[in-house]
Amino acid sequence: MNRRLSTLDGRSHKLDGGVMFGNTPRHTWLDWIRPDHDNLVQLASRGLLVQQGDRNILVLAGASALLAPPRRACTCQKHVPGLLESLAQQGLTESDINTVVLSHLHAQLSPETRAAIDDGDTPRLLFPAARYITGERHWFRALHNHPHDRALFVRQIVHRLEGSGRLMLVEGGRCKELGDGWRLHFSEGYTPGQLIPEIAMPGGPVVFAGDLIPGTHWLSLAVTTANDRNPEGIVGEKERLLDYLVANGGRLFFASDPDIAMIKVMRDKQSRYLPFDTYAVLSRFES
């Protein structure tokens, strides 16, 4: 089946640089990405739109973009473009999305959305015609979370997904809803049961890295984040995935890299994983 891949840009966000780079010394990661005066680094919120036949499938890292943006209190408030505006650039509305694949359900909400929830006015879920797909093991974590990552789940989002009647939980490598040409991997190192989708393309598979590998700087096996529940385990998961991509000429799609959306991976004589054939933006990519 012919597939076309496009990047969708959500609202970028900032996170603490020390959290994002874990035990990597600050003087090392300062050469990669420059923090602001509060030690926050700018990250993308990038989704992947997969168009196959007459279906539009959206792949997201986390649940941050699932809630409709709150209405502006007045027109003097600056409007920040997000996921819906990116969809409109592709000639689509939220109702055109058939399926939303969620790698996991952690959410980093905008201040406006957080304020609305705190006021008891949780915005509606986006994509009213879509089935929501996530991993069964991860769904259990969302319902019974651990103090380590409890703050990363937004219970209002979890409850809305549960009550939508359109939630689909997967546990194997295939999913009938997605059809042939999709393979599902699962990662345990960052959060239990994180879903890592692989999409068959003519030029080799494309793997949506989610928060297993947020961007190019995390290609190094030694670089993990402070949010990883099992840093040692995530090193092995990254190595297996990257070796698979090297062997199969595959590509890696990044949800959080501020500059790069997709790469191919090579391994040099020092066994380091390096990016090449990089793309900053995809627009109906078919190769």
Q: What is the pTM of this model?
A: 0.95
| Six-digit token string for 109 | 């909400």
Q: What angle do CA 282, 286, 103 make, to 5 degrees?
A: 60
- Length of the chain as a residue count: 287
Domain encompassing residue 273: 3-71+79-279
pLDDT at 263: 98
- Is position 287 within any domain? no
Query: What pLDDT is attached to residue 80?
Result: 74
Q: Is 185 helix (H, G, I), strand (E, B) or coil?
A: strand
In a domain, 150, yes or no: yes
In the chain, how many domains are there? Answer: 1
Largest CA distance in the chain: 58
Residue 286 resides in a domain: no
Please report whether residue 156 resides in a domain.
Answer: yes
Q: Per the domain annotation, does 285 fall within a domain?
A: no
pLDDT tens for the chain, 287 residues long, are: 799 999 999 999 999 999 999 999 999 999 999 999 999 999 999 999 999 999 999 999 999 999 998 876 666 667 778 999 999 999 999 999 999 999 999 999 888 899 999 998 999 999 999 999 999 999 999 999 999 999 999 999 999 999 999 999 999 999 999 999 999 999 999 999 999 999 999 999 999 999 999 999 999 999 999 999 999 999 999 999 999 999 999 999 999 999 999 999 999 999 999 999 999 999 999 98
CATH code for the domain in which residue 128 is found: 3.60.15.10
Residue 284 belongs to a domain: no
